[in-house]
Amino acid sequence: MIITIDGPAAAGKGTVSAYLAEKYKLAYFDTGMVYRAVGLQMVLTESDVNDEAKAEQVAKELSFPKMMELSKHKDFRSDIGGQAASVVSAHPKVRAALLKMQQNFALNPTFADGTSAKGVVYDGRDTGTVVCPDAELKLFITASTEIRAQRRYKEFVEKGIQTSYEKVLEDMVTRDKRDSSRSAAPLKPAEDAIIIDTSSLNINEVLQKIIPLVEAKL
Ligand code: DC
């Protein structure tokens, strides 16, 4: 079973994806990681993130172990990693270079310990539109920009990352604009995706809406 969960940053995709993966014993692929890995590698090697040819080369050389190694870096989840990911992900050649790696995961999905899984929950921006257009269930999870910025700011504070709400909101507006206006796989719901707005819902209320949708597909 393949479930795709797309939507803008901090809409709740990660929490929902991890919950569904655990409950239905599916592997979880956070596809933002591949773009964060390429973006961070560009930053660490002092390469210009706007240099498409260089970013394509980094993307072609990216492996799962390298991605996992980069994910331990302090800036992988910070806004430095997020902005770099957003810029490199707008390059069509980078997206093309990373597509197979994401699609191949569904051919032989595995959990973190290497054991096989019966399916995958994909989390990203284009997993229902480009990576897995034949997924059994496609969700598009969204929320207002202000609510998402509040959630992201709270996460940063909890992790001890120094920032302000205004900065987080400004960065989110910039990233949303770039993610939705790029020519290659812009952020948008698949035609057959179910849209869930989490602005006024807590996580339990969101899951109460989603679980019946998954059960209906099982
Ligand atoms: O979900 P995230 O914040 O980790 O994603 C980081 C960036 O990667 C995001 O700004 C856009 C890009 N991305 C993408 O273009 N396609 C995906 N499937 C996942 C992420």
Q: How much distance in Å is there from the Cα of 217 to the middle of ligand 1?
A: 27
Cross-strand bridge partners of residue 139: 5, 194
Q: How much distance in Å is there from the Cα of 33 to the middle of ligand 1?
A: 7
Among the atoms of ligand 1, which is closest to the Cα of residue 86? 10
Closest residue CA from atom 10 of ligand 1: 86
Q: Write the DSSP string, the chain.
A: -EEEEE-STTSSHHHHHHHHHHHTT-EEEETHHHHHHHHHHHHHTT--TT-HHHHHHHHHH--HHHHHHHTTSTTSSSHHHHHHHHHHTT-HHHHHHHHHHHHHHTTS-B-TTS-B-S-EEEEESSIIIII-TT-SEEEEEE--HHHHHHHHHHHHHHTT----HHHHHHHHHHHHHHHHH-SSS-S---TTPEEEE-TT--HHHHHHHHHHHHHHH-
Please state the domain extents for the chain.
2-210
- Which tens digits make up the pLDDT trace of 6-19? 999 999 999 999 99
Residues of the chain with pLDDT under 70: none
- Which tens digits make up the pLDDT trace of 114-144? 999 999 999 999 999 999 999 999 999 999 9
Q: What is the pLDDT of residue 68?
A: 95
Closest residue CA from atom 20 of ligand 1: 32
Instruction: Tell me how far apart the 2 most distant CA atoms of the chain are, in Å.
Output: 49
- How many Cα atoms sit within 13 Å of 204 on the Cβ side? 0
Among the atoms of ligand 1, which is closest to the Cα of residue 89? 15
Pick the CATH number of 2-210 from 3.30.460.10, 3.40.50.300, 3.30.420.10, 1.20.1250.20: 3.40.50.300
Q: What is the pLDDT of residue 159?
A: 87
Q: How much distance in Å is there from the Cα of 37 to the middle of ligand 1?
A: 11
Q: Are 140 and 189 in contact (CB under 8 A)?
A: yes
Buried b (16+ CB within 10 A) or exposed e, 147-172: bbbbbbbeebeeeeeeeeeeebbebb
Contacts of 65 by beta carbon, 8 Å cutoff, 6+ apart = none
In this structure, the residues whose C-beta lies within 6 A of any atom of ligand 1 are 9, 31-32, 35-36, 82, 85-86, 89, 124-127, 175, 179
Q: What is the pLDDT of residue 161?
A: 84
Mutational pocket test of ligand 1: of 125, 141, 174, 180, the residue with most ligand atoms within 8 Å of the beta carbon:
125
